[in-house]
Amino acid sequence: MTNTMKQIELPQTGVSENTAGIAIRIQNLSKCYQIYDAPHDRLKQFVVPRGQRLFWQKPKQYFRDYWALKEVSFEIKKGEII
C-alpha cells in the first residue's frame, strides 16, 4: 500500500494573522490503495518481487494503484460547519 503523508498544520497561539481564524488546514493530502485482481495476487506481490530482486530482475507488480485522494488541500475556519 502506498501512503503519501503530508504535514497537517494546526494553528497555535501567537500565530500570524493569516492563520488566526483557521481551525484545520490540510495541504497536499493523498491516499493510494493497491487494487488486486485476485486474492492470490496479494501473496504473489509479497513473495515474487523479493525473489526477483535477488536475481537483479525488475520486480513485477501484481496490483494497480487507485488514488482515493490526490494532493487535496482545504481549510476549515473556526466556527465553520461542514
Q: How many CB atoms lie within 10 A of CB 5?
A: 9
Q: What is the pLDDT of residues 52-66, one digit of tens each?
A: 778 888 888 999 999
Helix (H, G, I), strand (E, B) or coil at 51: helix
Taking the whole predicted model, whether its pTM rises above 0.75 is answered as no
32 pLDDT more than 70: yes
Domain limits, the chain: 3-77
Give the pLDDT score at 6: 61
Q: pLDDT over 70 for what percent of the chain? A: 77
4 pLDDT more than 90: no
